[in-house]
Chains A and B, each alone.
Chain A
Amino acid sequence: MIDRTQFWLVVVLLAIGTYAIRFSFLGMLGNHPLPRWLVRSLRYTAVSVMPALVAPAVLWPAATGGHTDPARLSAAGATILVGMFTRSMMRAIFAGVVVLFTVQSLLG
């Protein structure tokens, strides 16, 4: 269960922080270029944060008591491969869900 005090604290602070990021240059700093190393690093935020966030749940899902589950593992693989090759988020999700349920029902 999500702790409500923690939840509201996160909502308020995340809202302020996110707005500050969006407002920064557009709102106050104007037409100043960012250092190149920073622009470069920012390009890799999503690919660094998102997969790492779910990697433990892919390899050791809590739903199977932390044991590696072939259905979830192959679903994750299918999602990544289809996403890379079709460049479509929706197709990747679709592939992942189909593989998850197919392997799950095959292994019964």
Chain B
Amino acid sequence: MSDARTSYLRGIRDALPFTVVIVPFAMMFGLLATEAGLHLYEIMAFSVAVFAGASQFAALQLLQDHAPVLVILATALAVNLRMLMYSVALAPHLGAAPLRTRAAMAYLLVDQTFALSTAEFERRPALTMAEKTGYFFGAITPILPLWMAATVTGAVMGRAIPQDYALDFAMPITFLAMIAPLLQSRAHLVAAAVSVALTLMLGFLPYGTGLLIAAATGMAVGAILEALQEKAKA
């Protein structure tokens, strides 16, 4: 068995625990998208084309609110901006791979592949290019098909669930559950609090622009607090 193949299999094995989160998350998306009146083929086109769960939820919410396309895009892309960081972090490890391979990796660059790969490449700095590539593709192997299959399952379930089940609140609960585990530092807490408070205060602004101002301010406040804390430590 080649080393790249060993790495590939290790990637699969390491990604398995994540499937516990992926399945309900994708099902929730399929379910809510169905509740929002989307057809199965539309939901699947959405998931295959974008393949970035959190931003899909955000876009779905704003589509239902009839926000303008530009605001929807700005908000959903802001949710995905964190992937810029992932792309930067993986470039030194995988940048030497052929362009076609990197083009495929870019599509498959999600929270899980980023987190697993950077941890693995740090743990085993001696890995060759082929081994690193193998690991990356291994890590996405259980995730991609499960994400798509669970989305279909959720969409089909959505048709069976009666409308009056307080499902309007599934989206807020999912969003809050997504970010609550991240609220571990004071800077994260303050960034979230500032953004929420500003959004509520700027609710009178048209087309959800208040949200964009609030989110940008929250990010800036978080970054400034972090810089100050680092300075205080130094």
Binding site for B on A (CB under 8 A): 1-3, 6-7, 9-15, 17-19, 21-27, 29-34, 37, 39-59, 61-63, 71-72, 75-76, 79-84, 86-90, 92-93, 96-97, 100-101, 104
Contacts and interface: CB of A to CB of B under 8 A. Distances in A.
Interface in B37-94: 37-38, 42, 45-46, 49-52, 54-55, 58-59, 61-64, 66, 69, 72-73, 75-88, 90-92, 94
Contact of A44 (B92, B180, B219): B219
A46 B87 contact: no
B69 A10 contact: yes
Contacts of B37: 1-2
B120 interface: no
B157 interface: no
A15 B181 contact: no
Given A10-B73, A84-B183, A50 B54 contact: yes
A contact patch SS: helix
Contact of B218 (A21, A47, A61): A47
B24 A93 contact: yes
A80 B174 CA distance: 10
Nearest to A95: B177
Given A3-B66, A18-B77, A51-B192, A89 B91 contact: no
